[in-house]
Amino acid sequence: MFKKLLSILAVLWGAAFLIAGVGLGVFMHHHIPHPFYFLLPFVALGALGLVPASLVLLLLRAQTWKTRLSIVAAYCAVFALAVGGPAAWRNYYETPRNGGPYLVWADDPKTTMTVCWTAEHAVPGRVEYAPEGAAEWKSAEGPATNYPKVKIAGLQPGGKYRYRVPVLDGQEHPFQTAPAAPEDFSFAVYGDNRHAGGFSWHSSVTREMVREDAREHFRFILNSGDIVESPGEGHGWQWATFLSDITPLAASRPYEVSLGNHESGGKPEPFAEYFDYGHPEHWRAFDYAGLHFIMLSTEDDLKPGSPQFAWMEKALDDKPADTRFTVVTLHKPLLTHDPRGNYNDPKRRGELEPVFAAKGVDIVFAGHVHSYEHHHLPAFEHVITGGGGVLLWAKPTPGPETVKTETVWHFCEVDVKGKTMSVRALRTDGSVIDAFEVQSKR
Ligand SMILES: [Fe+2]
């Protein structure tokens, strides 16, 4: 009688969790139409129901204590493997492993390129490079470290080159310097590719970027931040995964990140170990083919009167005479219609929008919100491109400034032709979420 009652309870337990898993899965899939949003609650709640229920049923059917002990041992072994296997894999990446190479601009994009990689063994960094078509290799060197960053200087504007890192894998990669004068070109922007709860779809975004790059060559990639879940100890595997995802693109063009709140901090600061943008601050500006880029840090003081704000005002003015467009990237947006109210900071908008408007900013790319949002503001376009691979959960309701919003993994492609900038937000299957043009005001 007791065994029968236990069996019925076990079956009811398993069935209840399975039904709850299906219900929550259907609800979440309705919110975000991707199979993962059905499978995650279904599998998680299903396991919570079926694992104990099946264990109880098996133990009740077992005839001897030896059989019962074997069943418990088998369940414990599977549990240990399920938990310990991923933990061991993650722990392996706590010390740097060979990764990259990836490129950044630590100096003038017209005449320099900085090659970065991660090294299991800290030996002096050496890069060999040559102009496209030239047989003779030159070399540039850097100090011994697990995070080598070797600057190649004295390059020709608009020059095409190739390079290799002998201590890494010796594979050749092409790169090109910024042209001396404005010309047509394309680049890509996205953000929020980080892991959350162990999950990220970053590689599906970068795979589509690689496919799109074959059609419209991206000269560089901008990331509006949140590239890892947390900067420090225990997250080495996330940096390794991030580098593995970006290398197909970043090995042959600069990859520029606006610091996000998730990689902010840590001692020594991992962000500074992985990236060298030419100075210790997290903000910077560069010019490329008639476009003036300002990359800000919302993770440092950006209020009026702060060093960054003063620098920004000057940097927005300090642009070449042939500038066609001014582009700003920053992590936290000026506005959002994300239902979680704390993501919207009217104070930030109040402090930045008038300056951007007065100083001729054409477009702002932000992240932080895990969605695509395009707002048309009186003086410039404001885009949140926060679907670079992180779990999606925000579903913004369109507001008065909204042109388009969608909660989906994506990236933005920007094509600059003459005085027209065309922006397309693309899903991971290459379909278009949003497309718009910005005309130069100059
Ligand atoms: Fe964020």
**209, 237, 330, 378 from 440: Cα distances, Å:** 26, 43, 21, 15
> How far is ligand 1, taken at its centre, from the CA of residue 77, in Å?
38
Measured in angstroms, how far is the CA atom of residue 272 from the centroid of ligand 1? 18
Distance 235 CA to ligand 1 centre (A): 17
| Burial of 34 per CB tally in 10 Å (0-12, 13-18, 19+) | middle
For the chain, how big is the Rg over CA atoms in Å? Answer: 25
Q: How far is the CA of 331 from the centre of ligand 1 (A)?
A: 7
Separation of CA 341 and ligand 1 centre (Å): 14
Give the containing element (helix H, strand E) for 437. strand 432-439
Q: Which structural domains are found in the chain, ordered by start?
A: 2-92 (no CATH), 98-177 (2.60.40.10), 181-439 (3.60.21.10)
DSSP state letter for 196: B
- Separation of CA 390 and ligand 1 centre (Å): 10
Give the H/E segment covering residue 223: strand 218-223
The rounded Å distance from CA 29 to ligand 1 centre is 24
Query: How many Å lie between the centroid of ligand 1 and the Cα of residue 166?
Result: 36
Q: What are phi and psi of 340, to 5 degrees?
A: -80, 105
Which residue from 318, 324, 270 is spatially nearest to 294, judged by alpha carbons?
Answer: 318
CA distances from 121 to 95, 96, 117, 329 (A): 10, 8, 12, 35
From the CA of 18, how far away is ligand 1's center (Å)?
34
How many CA atoms does the CB half-sphere of 332 hold within 13 Å? 18
Q: Tell me the C-alpha distance between 56 and 67, whole Å.
A: 13
What is the whole-number distance in angstroms between the Cα of residue 264 and the centre of ligand 1?
10
User: In a structure prediction context, what are the per-residue pLDDT tens digits for the chain, which is 442 residues long?
Assistant: 788 999 999 999 999 999 999 999 999 998 888 889 999 999 999 999 999 999 999 999 999 999 999 999 999 999 999 999 999 999 999 988 999 999 999 999 999 999 999 999 998 999 999 999 899 999 999 999 999 999 999 999 999 999 999 999 899 999 999 999 999 999 999 999 999 988 999 999 999 999 999 998 999 999 999 999 998 888 999 999 999 999 999 999 999 999 999 999 988 899 999 999 988 899 999 999 999 999 999 999 999 999 999 999 999 999 999 999 999 999 999 999 988 878 899 999 999 999 999 999 999 999 999 999 999 999 999 999 999 999 998 788 999 999 999 999 999 999 999 999 999 999 999 999 999 999 999 8
Q: Residue 275 Cα, ligand 1 centroid: separation in angstroms?
A: 18
pLDDT of residue 234: 87
Q: CA-CA distance, 210 to 90, in Å (whole number)?
A: 27
- Distance in Å, CA 442 to ligand 1 centroid: 33
DSSP labels, 228-257: SS-SSTT-HHHHHHHHHHHHHHHTSSBEEE
Instruction: Give residue 32's pLDDT.
Output: 85
370 C-alpha to ligand 1 centroid (Å): 9
What is the CA(210)–ligand 1 centre distance, in A? 25
Alpha-carbon gap, residue 347 to 303, rounded angstroms: 9
Q: Which two tokens stand for residue 1?
A: 């009688």
* Two tokens, residue 317: 């003015």
User: Phi/psi at 395 (nearest 5 deg)?
Assistant: -130, 90
CB atoms within 10 A of CB 186: 18
Residue 55: strand, helix, or coil: helix
Q: What is the pLDDT of residue 442?
A: 84
Residue 251 tokens, joined: 């090995």
Cα–Cα distance, 178 to 254 (Å, whole number): 11
> How distant, in Å, are the alpha carbons of 337, 352, 370, 375 from that of 396?
5, 22, 9, 12
Residue 25 Cα to ligand 1 midpoint, Å, equals 26
C-alpha of residue 2 to centroid of ligand 1, in Å: 53
Q: Is the dihedral of CA 211, 212, 215, 216 positive or negative?
A: negative
Distance from the CA of 284 to the center of ligand 1, in angstroms? 19
> How far, in Å, from the CA of 193 to the mean position of ligand 1?
10
| Ligand 1 centroid, distance to 263 Cα (angstroms) | 9
Q: What is the per-residue burial (b if ≥16 Cβ within 10 Å, else e) of 256-269?
A: bbbbbebbbeeeeb
Distance 338 CA to ligand 1 centre (A): 13
Cα maximum dimension of the chain = 89
Alpha carbons 400 and 402: distance in angstroms, whole number: 6
Rounded distance from Cα 367 to ligand 1 centre (Å) = 7
CA of 342 to the centre of ligand 1 (A): 12
Residues sharing a CB contact under 8 Å with residue 206, sequence separation 6 or more, in sequence order: 245, 246, 248, 249
Dihedral, 155, 158, 162, 168 alpha carbons, nearest 10: 70
